Amino acid sequence: MLAVLDNMAALIRHARQAGSRKNPTILLDSVTGGNTGIYRRDFASNHINLLKRKKVKKPITTPKHGRTLAAEGDSLAAKGYLRPQKPYSPSADVVQRLDKICNDEGLEINDETRLDDLTSRFKLLNACYKEFNHYVPNSLLHTVETLADLRQFYLTPVNVTIPLDAMKGQILPENLHILYEYHRFNPETDTMFGGKSAFPKSSTIVTGLKYKKKYAGYTAKTKWP
């Protein structure tokens, strides 16, 4: 029986290689004497499994409603304000200084002048950085396409004051009170209640390197080791 199965498997492989998949039962009849019902079903199931294993390349689809650059900018702006930015305040003669830089770089002083050439674009932005000590960040390079865009950038001030500090100079509602210098409990210095805390087993740990010098932390004493 094993010899018959081996011969049958060899014949099936030979039939596949020779391209005779349309009628493999002819080869099986010569071996099994016409009783090929079981082997025909096995061969069909194996053939279906082979077809299922083939990797079908799925078409690449693009979303109909893609995120725009404006949406990406709004998302980044909403994530926080503690960013390493330098303050910048445009001077009164910023337009005249920009026109002089453009003239030195051989560009036509016109709002519609495009900055498509990468070499001249790099030289112009580098000269502007040296003149104003204020560079165009990578996130805004795509917005500077013409001289009008460049002028708009250098006419826009950059305020690095965080909103919490900006509230100090504003008139707030009477029912709103902001504690700018917050208080941290320390049993060694807070003796109003004899150094007792409402959370006697909780430690006050200061993790920031900046605030470790400003606020002293302490480790609560516990009865267990």
CB within 8 A of 106, min separation 6: which ones? 120
Residue 62: both structure tokens together: 């693009």
Q: Which two tokens stand for residue 109?
A: 């002083």
Which residues fall within 8 angstroms of residue 145, CB to CB, at 6 or more apart? Answer: 114, 115, 116
Residue 172: strand pairing partners: none
Question: Tokens 């000590």 appear where?
Answer: 133
Which tokens sit at 145?
């396409």
- Cα 118–Cα 119–Cα 124 angle in degrees, nearest 5: 95
Paired residues of 146 in beta bridges: 114
Q: Is the dihedral of CA 144, 149, 155, 161 positive or negative?
A: negative
Q: Check if the beta carbon of residue 170 is closer than 8 Å to that of residue 117.
A: no
Residue 131 tokens read as 């003149």
Is 12 in contact with 27 (CB distance < 8 Å)? Answer: yes
- Report yes or no: 15 and 27 within 8 Å, Cβ to Cβ: yes
Query: What tens-digit pLDDT sequence spans the chain (225 residues)?
Result: 545 555 566 666 665 655 544 454 444 444 444 444 444 555 555 555 555 555 555 565 555 555 566 777 776 666 655 556 788 999 999 999 999 999 999 888 888 999 999 999 999 999 999 999 999 988 889 999 999 999 999 999 988 888 888 888 888 898 988 888 777 777 777 877 777 777 777 888 888 787 777 777 878 777 776
- Give me the helices (H) in 54-91, please: 69-77
Cα–Cα separations (whole angstroms), residue 184 to 60, 179, 201, 208: 56, 12, 15, 14
pTM, rounded to two decimals: 0.46
pLDDT attached to residue 16: 60
